[in-house]
Amino acid sequence: MSKDSEGNYAPEKQDVLVAADGRWHDIYASLASSLVPAHKKAGRGVPCPVHGGEDGFKIFRKTAGSSSGGICRTCGVKADGIALLMWVNRWSFHHALQEVGALLRVKDPYGRTADGFIPSVVIRKERAPAKPEASDDWLREAMRNLWKGTVPLTDPSAEPARLYLRSRGILAWDRPELSRYVRFHPELTYKDKAGKRSKHPGIVCTLIDPEGQAVTINRHYLTMKGEKADLAEPKKMFPIPSYRKLPGCAVPTSHPGEVLDVCEGLETALSVETAMGIPVWPLVNSYLLESFVPPACTKAVRIWADKDRKEGGQKAAFALKKRLWEMGIKAQIMLPDMPIPDGSKGVDWNDVLRERGSLGFLGHEVYRAQR
């Protein structure tokens, strides 16, 4: 793009996504070639374009030809191709829209195009996958049947879940409200990359969008002895129906009030509840933490953030805090004051609970009293 058009050209996201439908292969080839291998193998794990490794990243097969979202095991879900380009290239939202819009000759609301931009590739419509993904009806029915097979964490059959939580120092699993969206399943199906299926007990959580609609289910695979299952993906999210959106979702473990506590993972949420006696909403990963939308009644949010070497958790927490203050909602971040041990990726509030017990939370007794 020319320098002049870069400042003025401002296409709408929806217009860009409509134009990009079926064209993501060439968009990535032109703007972020590191995403091309994942797009070619949509639905399969490949080396992450940001963190490396063997299979820490994938582009969702169901939406590869349309919105082209993906997920990084470290950074979480990226809802669409725009978000992937922002993440890989470290672009701002506006910059990513400009680049894709310019490539596809999308006009902005004022009828402007990105003058002076010459596409480096010919954009073509991609063919549909040979093997279509499961239909929305199938996904909805599969999740409904999965949920029907669950029981509260207090049920006698949920002993593997209680053993696991106790091994983490967590004792907060018997609050009645928790069982609305956090439950135990005795036989969760796991499918590995080779297509082999196996059954495992596990904890399941339902993610709810800001409108109160169930979006998908997150699964924590365990063993009968209450250990984390030895699987490539011991925590796995169910596919998302096309008519639902993941950004803004949460696992609402309590009725919302004027003050709300949130964090990334379920273990962190129950660790804070064990130590402080306050319910915390887990948001599953850093991406959903950053994109969280609080209920209308919320006036203040407490963010129990993870502390990691790559600062993904901290950055997501600070991004959420900034956005909440812009919305007129007070926000505060609480990071563990423990140092990150050598050889460890980070520390979270479950580490604080196991290392120091409730004493590790004593600096927050004033906040507890205010609730």
Question: pLDDT 10s per residue in the chain (371 long)?
Answer: 433 334 478 888 888 988 998 899 889 988 988 999 999 999 888 999 988 878 889 998 888 888 888 888 777 788 899 999 999 998 888 888 888 988 888 888 878 777 544 344 444 444 444 444 567 888 899 999 999 999 999 999 999 999 999 999 999 999 999 999 999 999 999 988 788 999 999 999 999 988 889 999 999 999 999 999 999 889 998 888 878 888 789 999 999 999 999 999 999 999 999 999 999 999 998 888 988 989 989 999 999 999 988 887 888 899 999 999 999 999 999 999 889 988 888 999 999 999 999 888 876 543 443 34
Residues 39, 24 contacting (CB under 8 angstroms): yes
Q: Which domains does the chain have, with CATH numbers?
A: 3-103 (no CATH), 136-237 (3.90.980), 259-370 (3.40.1360)
Cα angle: 205, vertex 207, 208; to 5 degrees: 135
Cα angle: 260, vertex 264, 266; to 5 degrees: 90
Residues 319, 247 contacting (CB under 8 angstroms): no
Instruction: Give the contacts of 322 (CB within 8 A, at least 6 positions apart).
Output: none
CA–CA dist 368, 371 (Å, integer): 5
Residues 300, 260 contacting (CB under 8 angstroms): yes
DSSP 176: G
pLDDT at 368: 44
β-strand pairing of 259-263 with 281-282 = parallel
CA–CA dist 178, 327 (Å, integer): 28
pLDDT at 240: 84
HEC-encoded secondary structure of 93-109? HHHHHHHHHHHCCCCCC
Which residue, among 236, 197, 261, has the nearest Cα to 71 in the 3D structure?
Answer: 236
pLDDT at 64: 86
pLDDT at 14: 87
pLDDT at 239: 84
Which residue, among 102, 30, 17, has the nearest Cα to 68 in the 3D structure?
Answer: 17
pLDDT at 367: 45
pLDDT at 78: 87
pLDDT at 300: 96
